[in-house]
Amino acid sequence: MKHVYFQKLERKSHNTSISLTDVIDQLAYNDQGLIPVITQDFTSKDVLMFAWMNKQALELTLSTKRMTYWSRSRQQLWIKGETSGHTQALVSMSFDCDGDTILCQVTQEGAACHTGRQNCFYLKVDPEQQQVHICGDAV
């Protein structure tokens, strides 16, 4: 089981190095071969977006340093900013303790959201008023 692999990593000492290829092969991709990716601005630490990668998108991201995702709606690879010019350059990548989520810190050029907003999380919940507020204008 893949989770056993990551349980074994928990017992490794700080600053121990392991093969990137081995870890990528052990990631917990879903039934469609996808893994969730949280993309965060490297400087501000704001969460910009959530997307999906397959193994090919992950490997392309690492080799090109350009964020490449899997578009579930188009069923194809999607290089962020290829058509909009709003690019994301990979600064760092981390895997969570279960190997089922990726965190990428990026340098964002332009808006991260397809709506033209800085990030995709502009619908702010106000539980007291039982409302959702739209925050941030599209550029």
Q: What CATH number has the domain bearing residue 24? A: 3.10.20.810
**Residues spanned by the domain of 92:** 2-112
Q: Give every CB contact of residue 74 below 8 A, 6+ residues apart in sequence.
A: none
pLDDT of residue 89: 98
Domain total of the chain: 1
pLDDT of residue 95: 98
pLDDT of residue 35: 98
Please name which of 99, 97, 95, 117 lies closest in space to residue 108, comparing C-alpha atoms: 117
Is 117 among the domain residues? Answer: no
Q: Both ends of the chain: CA-CA distance in Å?
A: 46
pLDDT of residue 23: 96
Is 97 among the domain residues? Answer: yes
Is 78 among the domain residues? Answer: yes
Is 139 among the domain residues? Answer: no
Is 122 among the domain residues? Answer: no
Is 124 among the domain residues? Answer: no
pLDDT of residue 1: 54
pLDDT of residue 136: 84
For 61-66, the CB contacts below 8 A with 24+ separation are 61/90, 61/93, 61/104, 62/20, 62/90, 62/93, 65/89, 65/90, 66/90
Q: CB–CB of 88/108 below 8 Å? A: yes
Q: What is the pTM of this model?
A: 0.92
pLDDT tens by residue, the chain, 139 residues: 557 899 999 999 998 999 999 999 999 999 999 999 999 999 999 999 999 999 999 999 999 999 999 999 999 999 999 999 999 999 999 999 999 999 999 999 999 999 999 999 999 999 999 999 999 888 7
pLDDT of residue 75: 96
Is 10 among the domain residues? Answer: yes
Is 48 among the domain residues? Answer: yes
DSSP assigned state of 21? H
pLDDT of residue 129: 95
